[in-house]
Chains A and B, each alone.
Chain A
Amino acid sequence: MRQLLFTRGERRRVITLCSATLPAGAWVERPERVLGAFLQDLIATAPLSTLLGVKVFGWLLWLCPLVVLGRPRSFGGLAASERQLLLDALAAHRIYVVREMPLLFKALASFALLGLPESQARFGVEPRDITAPAWLDAAPGDAP
């Protein structure tokens, strides 16, 4: 039932936002799949207030290029360099809630991607798990 809280489009947007805040393709194979599985687990287990924050911040961040950059595009329609510009502008914004928006997705991406065995190996964590986290095992094959 909780899975209905996020549409497929909203999930794709959250995954894109997380990927933009922490591009992990250099050391994680198919990070979008990991983020998809993480999001599915998060929706199933996190408090509703957290999910509400992810949903609202996801929409705001997706639609903010018009206001922040003056570009009539969504976040998904921006080039990589423009995304970076936008994220940097938001993170330094004078309004607290605005600068918290990208940080939420950065935190989610960090939890999803940096706890993987390949990430822990890369960052020298010992002792480390050699198996993938349970939430990743239980997830369906591909990101939505």
Chain B
Amino acid sequence: MTVRSLADVRDEAAVEDSADVVVVGSGASGAVVAYLLCEAGLDVVVLEEGPYVRSEELRSDMYGSMRRMWRDGGFQVALGRAVTPILQGRCVGGTTVVNGAIIHRLPEPIHAAWQREHDLGSALPYAELMRASDRLDELLGVSPTPEPVQGNNARLLHRGLDELGLRGNAIRRSVIDCRGSAHCNQGCPTGQKQSMLATLIPHALERGARLYATCRAERVVGQSGRAVGVRARFVDPVTRERGPTLRVHARHAVVLAASAIQTPLLLSKSGFGRRSGLVGRRLQAHPGTALVGVFDQPVRMTVGATQGYESTHHWAERMKLETVSMPVELLAARLPGLGHALTRQLERHDHMAVWGVQVRAQAQGGVRAGLFGTDIRYQLAAEDVAVLKRGIFLLAELLFAAGAREVLPGVHGLPPSITHLDQLAPLADLPDDPRLVHCIAAHLFGTARLGSAESTSVVSRQLEVHDCSGLFVADSSVFPTNLGVNPQHSISAVAWLLGEQLVERVARGRARLARRAS
């Protein structure tokens, strides 16, 4: 098993390597591609900008986790009329290490819309994606969150949904034998979460993959219109200490799996995919906000699955509801009040439940390299805010239905605390302005979208960058739109099909070479 980080190469002037395929990124897509290629006996190098953090090294304090394993220490934001935190993992295993492990398959209506309206054609057949999802389910131990570890936060949402006659379900997650420590966002301290760090990356390493961690890809190297390698540099992501460069020669392909933020930046820096003018544009997301309910009985969000129950009842109305058991550090930032008013709120944290609404927003933003780092622009459209407002009203209704004595809506222009749903009525009259609420966005799409024509897309239907053969994109950059559900499994399923395609392609290439040689 070969993992090399800055500490291992600090004294070297430069590092060189070569592989059949170089994969940039080790998250939901990169790990899948690396796994499949290694299973087929190919020689693979994986580059990951973040550190390799073992389960036993994980801490339960949120800041300690964020500074080490989240992009920009958790301070990455998108700018618009409001500031929107953009949450992404930056460690071996990517966001799968710090997300809620929520598994949804690509919704069929979304796939149909991609075929109908977004030039998907016959690429990524739905049946094939489901076949890949079946296999991923097995590899990642996907199952509904068992009742004993759901926690009271989830049980209360279940009760509220039942009271209102709305559909809900225990969230399907990639966790085996969850201990219910509510630590998903800090990285699972018991190692039960089946993140890519715990599953496919170790598989790939056992089968010969070489992983370079704390190694930032700086440029895809092209030659005569073909990707032939990657230039990277070892950099400590926390201290920013710079180490030697790494040059990896790719004999067959380079796969970008660095997320809808980093992949377009890398394409731009490398000078590829520019002809459409769409690299880094049309960024879509699932912005969301959360409501706090205060109950008479203890809720104890510190016990149970971080995210155990959800409702897709209103999916067609572009929203999804779910429980979000927040660490107390994040909860405090969400609670109303400052000074002693805040400490009084914290005194009753044990009686609080937090539920979120996630919106399939229509807004489109962009990403590019800026003066102070990555420049992400994103602003909710008025119609998205209208959906958010409906979601906020619905969550408050559910909280009261579940027995909350008080709801903290977190909407500017409304009372910080309400005890009856009628008090939320003025919400409808507030403007559809993104500055009304605090949103975060964790699911990102569309910044290197796929299509058949070079003028309207960045990658082909085979996920190969139009103007660079041998350069593929495997992450959600290629998705034409957002999904309305958590995207990890859809990203992995698309990466699975690309991985299989690459195995065939390399085999064909080798056969061709063998024929020539003979």
Contacts and interface: CB of A to CB of B under 8 A. Distances in A.
B353 to A, nearest CB: 15
B338 A123 contact: no
Contacts, number: 126
Given A47-B372, A119-B328, A125-B327, A22 B73 contact: no
A132 to B, nearest CB: 9
B393 interface: no
Contacts of B183: 127
B17 interface: no
Contacts of A50: 72-73, 75
> Taking chain A's interface residues, is the majority helix, strand, or loop, or is none over half, making it mixed?
helix
Pick from A92, A114, A119 the residue with the most CB of B within 10 Å. A114
Interface string B60-77: 111110110000110111
Contact of B302 (A38, A84, A123): A123
Nearest to A85: B339
Nearest to B342: A22
Given A38-B63, A44-B239, A133-B59, A22 B332 contact: yes
A106 B328 contact: no
A47 B73 contact: yes
B60 A127 contact: yes
Interface residues on B, range: 35 or more
Contact of B328 (A21, A45, A91, A114): A114
A66 interface: no
Interface string B327-338: 111101100101
B373 A48 contact: yes
Nearest to A83: B339
Interface of B: 59-64, 66-67, 72-73, 75-77, 81-83, 181, 183, 189-190, 238-240, 300, 302-303, 327-330, 332-333, 336, 338-343, 346, 349-350, 372-373, 412, 435
Interface of A: 20-24, 26, 38, 41, 44-50, 52, 83-84, 87-88, 91-92, 96, 99-100, 102-103, 106-107, 110-112, 114-116, 119-120, 123-129, 133-135
Given A20-B338, A22-B339, 17 more contacts: A21-B339, A23-B339, A26-B343, A48-B373, A84-B338, A87-B338, A99-B412, A102-B338, A111-B66, A114-B329, A115-B64, A115-B327, A119-B328, A125-B328, A127-B189, A129-B60, A133-B63
